[in-house]
Amino acid sequence: MDATNQFFPTEQKLTKVTRREQSRTLLENVGIHVSRYGLVATLLLIGVLKFTTGEAQGIQPLVASSPLMFWLYKVFSLQAVSNLIGVIEIAVAMLIALRPFSARLSFVGSIGAIITFVLTVSFLFSTPGAFQFSHGVPLLGDAGQFLIKDVVLLGASISTAAEARKEH
């Protein structure tokens, strides 16, 4: 066998690489669609819940202890703060869902989702009891268990923003 031929890919190797790239692209496409419309569904459902009294009361400790959002209760009532957050979440969901029609609007929605989830992830550090220490090890408390999913939602938001940004 010629020594120079071992460094050049054969047609069989190139075919395998091409198939792998195509399957990765399909997998990435499915992943981005599941991420995008999973975000849409999550934001819509959570946004609609914000209009209920129970949800307004449920988020109050999180928002009130946030150094970024506590001031909202000085300006608005408990329910008005929850309603405002709900309107924002629904609007962001709708913008993200517009991806087939407008990459730019979907990108704006994804940026809104990034901001939303950066704020909610920050609650992990500002909400009393989000972390509990047991034998010197930080463990998630009840609030932390509720909030930790937002790290994944933040990642999905970043991913959908990056994908939409490629198109506009």
Q: Look at residue 137 in the predicted model and tell me its pLDDT.
A: 86
* Cβ-based neighbour number of residue 59 at 10 Å: 21
**Max Cα-Cα span within the chain:** 81
Tokens of 83: 């309603």
Angle at 148 between CA 80 and CA 151, to 5 degrees: 90
In this prediction, residue 133 carries a pLDDT of 83
Tell me how far apart the alpha carbons of residues 100 and 74 are, in angstroms, rounded to a whole number: 40
Q: What is the pLDDT of residue 4?
A: 55
pLDDT in tens, the chain (168 residues): 555 556 666 666 656 656 655 666 888 889 999 999 999 999 999 999 999 999 999 999 999 999 999 999 999 999 999 999 999 999 999 999 999 999 999 999 999 999 999 999 999 999 998 888 888 888 898 899 999 999 999 999 999 999 999 876
The secondary structure of residue 127, as a DSSP letter, is S
The answer to whether 130 and 140 have CB atoms below 8 angstroms apart is: yes
Give the pLDDT score at 165.
93
Q: What is the pTM of this model?
A: 0.83
Q: 3-class DSSP state for residue 8?
A: coil
Structure tokens belonging to residue 10: 């054969």
pLDDT, position 77:
98
